[in-house]
């Protein structure tokens, strides 16, 4: 039986509650399967850490994380530390430093959940968004001129490389081929006139190697609208860093709550550890109250289990989540009255059966 060493970063706000909750489910799933065990090493990197130390993680943070089999993260960001400080000090350096260029986010209407969209039933909505996770619109490149004056000019550079664009599109094509359906590309080449025509070119070139995959291209504005008007038509969707970010929050909304949405930051070559974090943030307004929905974090644990090579165990976790939801175990964001704790217990109970 294999034991995995997991770097655990609860981070800020509700991460402090959802991470321990999901960890219990993860441990139990390993035990029950007799296939693997997990050993945690907890890092207290967070905004509280920042307030004590002046940085979000130690300078050698990435070196400390590197030996682990995976990273399990809660949420980053808490007032009064500005978001761009906390995120560029912890979350984004890990995504980049470990070349986790695939951000995989499933959008699925689970059993027991009512979508805000009329007329959809569990299973009707079921697709995956592949988001580029290391470059593009989040390039940390740009500057400001004549700061504070009426003549101020601010430039933000989106940097796209062929290397970075090709590999994410190729990953998405392989996934679409495996599911034998379609790949939808998010573009905006009609308005954004250097990076997006380039994105389209790469999509078309790589696409020539996948004649068996149906290829669809939509501008991001239309695509966002289609997430609302015909989400059942998607299979795999690929988008740039920003477009993937927007589409996956929107996807979280149509699947019922951002509190259930899961996310994997993957380095497919396995050169570096991959990182697993839910889509939701630290939710300062409800932090510490036992109200946080643990399902986003538990579903995220499922993605980690898949990644570590145990998709059957992953499937069991998702099945347990769905059964718990069907029995009505829901936190307030889903219209229920359960606590973080009781939803977690319910999922564990289902897992045992």
229 binds, among ligand IPM, a second copy, none (CB under 5 to 8 A by kind): a second copy
Q: How far is the CB of 296 from a second copy (least distance, A)?
A: 13
Angle among Cα 346, 351, 352 to the nearest 5 degrees reads 100
Tokens of residue 139, six digits: 């390039």
Binding mask 252-281 vs a second copy (x if CB under 8 A, - otherwise)?
xxx---x-----------------------
Provide CB contacts within 8 A for 112, sequence distance 6+.
122, 322, 323, 324, 325, 326, 327, 328, 330
The stretch among 31-39, 63-71, 192-200, 265-273 that binds a second copy (CB under 8 A) is 192-200
Footprint (CB under 6 A) of ligand IPM, residues 201-240? 221
Kindly indicate which of the ranges 60-68, 245-253, 263-271, 344-352 contains the residues binding a second copy, using the contact rule CB under 8 A.
245-253
Give the residue with the Cβ less far from ligand IPM, 165 or 316.
165
Binding residue (CB under 6 A) for ligand IPM from 123, 191, 270, 311? 191
Q: Which is nearer to a second copy, 21 or 261 (CB)?
A: 261
**For ligand IPM, which is the closer residue by CB, 143 or 191?**
191
Site membership for a second copy, residue 83 (CB under 8 A): yes
CA separation for the pair 173, 183 (Å, rounded): 7
Q: Which is nearer to a second copy, 167 or 329 (CB)?
A: 167
CA distances from 334 to 114, 176, 213, 293, 295 (A): 9, 31, 36, 8, 11
The CA distances from residue 151 to 11, 125, 142, 143, 155, in Å, are: 40, 48, 17, 14, 13
The footprint of ligand IPM on residues 271-290 (CB under 6 A) is 279
Residue nearest to ligand IPM (CB): 191
88 touching a second copy, by CB under 8 A: yes
- Round to whole Å and give the CA distance between 167 and 172: 9
135 binds ligand IPM (CB under 6 A): no
What are the tokens at 149? Answer: 């004056």
**Count of CB atoms within 10 A of residue 323's CB?**
18
Q: Fill in the per-residue mask, 151 to 180: x = in contact with a second copy (CB under 8 A), - = not in contact.
A: xxxxxxxxxxxxx-----------------
3-state SS assignment for residue 112: coil
Contact between 87 and ligand IPM by CB under 6 A: the answer reads: yes
* Nearest Cα residue to 64 out of 4, 8, 134: 8
User: Residue 196 contacts by C-beta under 8 Å, 6 or more apart in sequence?
Assistant: 187, 188, 189
Burial of 218 (0-12, 13-18, 19+ CB in 10 A): middle
Would you count residue 339 as binding a second copy (CB under 8 A)?
no
Least distance from C-beta 351 to a second copy, angstroms? 29
Q: What angle do CA 312, 318, 321 make, to 5 degrees?
A: 145
- Among a second copy, ligand IPM, none, residue 209 binds (CB under 5-8 Å by kind): none
Nearest-angstrom CA–CA distance, 105 and 236 = 10
**Integer Cα distance of 135 and 125 in angstroms:** 29
- In the window 17-76, what residues touch a second copy (CB under 8 A)? none
Q: Is 245 in the site for ligand IPM (CB under 6 A)?
A: yes
Q: Pick what 246 binds: ligand IPM, a second copy, none; C-beta below 5 to 8 Å, kind-dependent.
A: a second copy
Among 58, 67, 79, 143, which residue interacts with a second copy (rule: CB under 8 A)? 143
Q: Residues in the site for ligand IPM, rule: CB under 6 A?
A: 87, 190-191, 221, 245, 279
């Amino acid at each position: 039986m294999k034991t995995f060493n997991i770097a655990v970063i609860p981070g800020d706000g509700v991460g402090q509650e959802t991470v321990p909750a999901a960890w219990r489910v993860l441990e139990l799933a390993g035990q029950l399967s007799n296939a693997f065990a997990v050993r945690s090493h907890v890092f207290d990197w967070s905004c509280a850490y920042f307030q004590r130390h002046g940085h979000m993680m130690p300078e050698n943070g990435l070196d400390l994380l590197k030996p682990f089999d995976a990273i399990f993260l809660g949420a980053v960001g808490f007032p009064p530390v500005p978001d761009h400080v906390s995120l560029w000090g912890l979350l984004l350096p890990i995504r980049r430093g470990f070349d986790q260029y695939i951000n995989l986010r499933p959008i699925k209407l689970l059993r027991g959940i009512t979508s805000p969209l009329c007329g959809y039933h569990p299973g009707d909505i079921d697709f995956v968004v592949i988001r580029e996770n290391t470059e593009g619109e989040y390039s940390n490149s740009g500057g400001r001129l004549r700061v504070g004056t009426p003549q101020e000019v601010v430039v933000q550079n989106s940097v796209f490389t062929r290397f970075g664009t090709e590999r994410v599109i190729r990953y998405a094509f392989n996934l679409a081929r495996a599911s034998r359906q379609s790949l939808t590309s998010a573009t905006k080449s009609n308005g954004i006139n250097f990076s997006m025509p380039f994105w389209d070119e790469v999509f078309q070139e790589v696409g020539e190697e996948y004649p068996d995959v149906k290829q669809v291209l939509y501008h991001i504005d239309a695509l966002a609208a289609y997430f609302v008007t015909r989400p059942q038509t998607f299979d795999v969707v690929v988008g740039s860093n920003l477009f993937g970010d927007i589409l996956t929050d929107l996807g979280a909304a149509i699947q019922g709550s951002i509190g259930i949405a899961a996310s994997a930051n993957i380095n497919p070559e396995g050169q570096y550890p991959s990182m697993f974090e839910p889509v939701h943030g630290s939710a300062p307004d409800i932090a510490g109250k036992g109200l946080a929905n643990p399902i986003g974090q538990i579903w995220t644990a499922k993605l980690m289990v898949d990644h570590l090579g145990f998709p059957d165990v992953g499937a069991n976790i998702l099945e347990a989540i769905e059964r718990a939801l069907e029995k009505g175990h829901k936190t307030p964001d889903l219209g229920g009255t359960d606590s973080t704790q009781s939803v977690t217990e319910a999922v564990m109970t289902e897992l045992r059966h």
